[in-house]
Structure 1
Amino acid sequence: ANQQLKRWTEVLRLTHSLSKHGALHPVLVQKNIQEAVSKLVQEKSTDHEALLKIWKTLPKEDRRLSRVALVMAKGLLATGQLKTARELIEESLDAEWDAALMDLYPECWEAGESALQQIQKLDTWMLKYPTEPQVSLALGRLCYQQKLWGKAKVSLQGVLKDVRSKPMVKASAHLYLAQLHEALAEAEEAALHYKQAASVYATL
């Protein structure tokens, strides 16, 4: 009934209460929490202070749910709260792997803002998640933004060489390599990567 009335704060409270008493299946608990947070973020989509309040009132176990972190991070990014979005993505990825959060991570920077600490964080995640090429892609994207051309190139080429890289991940790596070569006035190499990206997209 509370869900139908859109009283999403109450849905969260009741879900936690029932969960503590073992009255709800864990899968249903996660579903309710994810839905309630998603709806609350939609309701407060232009109010970053309200979004922060929602986030701070969530128990730590809720905050670590990757779907919850993703919805909240997108909401914060939309209101310009890049640093807070970055921090909550880091908190979630430190706990468990999530491809969508990793994909969002390089978007949490203002133009010209230093990201050296976060590049070190990505290096750490490469050790934590050695079978996930998307970490290398995120590292390459961030190094590209920071104009660290050499490290960006190595990371993006690593994505292309990794047999575990999915087609979409490879296509993204080709696109960023094309842009990198453009920035270095290497038109021939840029054209090659644009062509390779297009051929990957054609197979999707």
Structure 2
Amino acid sequence: MRLMLWALVLFAISAAVVLAAYYNNGTVLFTVPPYTVELAFNIFIIGSLLAFIVFYYMVRVMIGLLNVRASKAQQFMLSGLNAFLETRFDQAQKAAEKAFRLADAPDIKAINAVIAARSAHRQGKVAQRDQLLAAIAGQRADTDALRLITEAELKLEDGRYTEALTALQALYSTGGWQSTAVLQLELKIQEMLQNWDAVLDLVDILSKRRSANQSLISSLRHTAHLQNIKKYSTDFELLKKYWQEFSSEDKQDSQFAAAAASSFMALGDHAWAQKIIEHNLDKQPDTTLFRLYADCRSGSVSWQIQHAEKWLIKYPNNAELLLTLGKLCAYGELWGKAQNYLEASLSIEPSYPAHLALAQLNEQLGEQASANEHYRQGLQFALKQIDG
């Protein structure tokens, strides 16, 4: 029924159009001096309709061609991405380059350029990689960010750390949010450049971000402080200032304390070293700090012995502490106490340093036979440690 109604409507419209055309005697006049063209109105209408139909189908054909081009670009992009993830870098580069040439949208071109560049990088094709990245330079802010991050990452892998940092600085100059991944990338670059102050600044920022690798952050923070202590180890004032800026918690870190104390001792300031060591050992025992304390010559060995004997009450049967006390007593010419402490250290944990200290003590006392025996035992112990 509905079909019949539509047929009747179309028939009526057709009849109306035919009648209108039959009784229409109008004309259309086109004047372009010195020419004049006169067309019947009906012919003008028919021509206009035909022109519209031709134009419409031409547009459809062009859109179809563009869609085919976009479809091919997408197909090559997916193929390239799949090959890249499967580590087929040669095929990935070829497919991504084809997609790059076919794509029109800047973001799609940038993605394909990056896939191709990374594939070229994996194959060691540095010149091709750089050309691909240069091809998308300065197009748009978002695509430029993609390029700069990729450039920084790849140059880091190449060992071109300064250039990698320059790429990141160019990224930062555009403003915007600095993601955790980007900051961690810079952290790696600054670490390789040994810019330890910059490492510490980045660590402070990243420590507040949950997505950051906190174990890595903590490790790098530790390394940066140790390296800075080493850097300032030739300047007393800078070293003292740096150490004073440490938090109370950091000053209790035995590695920091040992590094700082060693540096102060190397600069000839044993008083500062002694202060650092005592402050740390009052809280917890540490083998390295005990050894350093034995070599600390602040001029008050009797005070050091008294302090160390208090530790012995707190940390009984500590072989390293007993060895330290033995050395301090020997330095203070308390021969009997020195021998007792050194022998006690050996009885708890035999070691080459304890044998050596006893040998030197026996030489001081004129007991060469005992000294030679401890030299021999110490050498045997050292050789056993090497073989083990």
Q: What is residue 329 of structure 2 aligned with on the other side?
A: 143
Q: What is residue 152 of structure 1 aligned with on the other side?
A: 338
Q: Deviations over 1:135-190 (max 9, x none)?
A: 1011101111111101100000101221xx1x4xx221111111111111112221
Q: What is residue 69 of structure 1 aligned with on the other side?
A: 257
Please report how far the alpha carbon of residue 94 of structure 1 lies from its aligned counterpart in structure 2 after TM superposition.
1.6
User: Structure 1 residue 114 and structure 2 residue 300: aligned?
Assistant: yes
> In structure 2, what is the Cα distance between the partners aligned to 1:29 and 1:90?
29
Conservation of the 8 A alpha-carbon contact between 1:8 and 1:39: yes
> In structure 2, what is the Cα distance between the partners aligned to 1:22 and 1:118?
45
2:358 aligned to which of 174, 177, 183: 177
Counterpart code for 1:197:
G
Conservation of the 8 A alpha-carbon contact between 2:318 and 2:345: no
Name the SS for the 2:366 alignment partner: coil
Q: What is residue 134 of structure 1 aligned with on the other side?
A: 320
> In structure 1, what is the Cα distance between the partners aligned to 2:282 and 2:204?
24
Q: What is residue 224 of structure 2 aligned with on the other side?
A: 36
Q: Deviations over 1:120-143 (max 9, x none)?
A: 111111122224211101110111
Please report how far the alpha carbon of residue 6 of structure 1 lies from its aligned counterpart in structure 2 after TM superposition.
3.6
2:309 aligned to which of 118, 123, 130: 123
> In structure 1, what is the Cα distance between the partners aligned to 2:203 and 2:314?
32
> In structure 1, what is the Cα distance between the partners aligned to 2:333 and 2:300?
11
1:193 aligned to which of 374, 377, 385: 374
Q: Deviations over 1:7-38 (max 9, x none)?
A: 4234334534654x474676445423321122
> In structure 2, what is the Cα distance between the partners aligned to 1:134 and 1:118?
15
Name the SS for the 1:45 alignment partner: coil
> In structure 2, what is the Cα distance between the partners aligned to 1:50 and 1:133?
35
Conservation of the 8 A alpha-carbon contact between 2:312 and 2:321: yes
> In structure 2, what is the Cα distance between the partners aligned to 1:13 and 1:144?
46
Q: Deviations over 1:39-96 (max 9, x none)?
A: 2123222101111111000101011111111111121111111111111111122222
TM-score, normalised on structure 2? 0.47
Runs of 5+ consecutive residues of structure 2 not aligned to the other structure: 1-185
Counterpart code for 2:278:
E
Indicate the RMSD between aligned Cα atoms, in angstroms.
Answer: 2.1
Please report how far the alpha carbon of residue 4 of structure 1 lies from its aligned counterpart in structure 2 after TM superposition.
4.1
After superposition, the Cα gap between the structure-2 partners of 1:189 and 1:4, relative to the gap in structure 1 and judged at 3 Å, is closer
After superposition, the Cα gap between the structure-2 partners of 1:144 and 1:88, relative to the gap in structure 1 and judged at 3 Å, is same
- After TM superposition, list the pairs within 5 Å mapping 1:12-27 onto structure 2: 12-16=200-204, 19=207, 21=208, 23=210, 27=215
> In structure 1, what is the Cα distance between the partners aligned to 2:321 and 2:214?
29
Name the SS for the 1:117 alignment partner: helix
Q: Would you say how many aligned residue pairs link Structure 1 and Structure 2?
A: 196
After superposition, the Cα gap between the structure-2 partners of 1:5 and 1:175, relative to the gap in structure 1 and judged at 3 Å, is closer
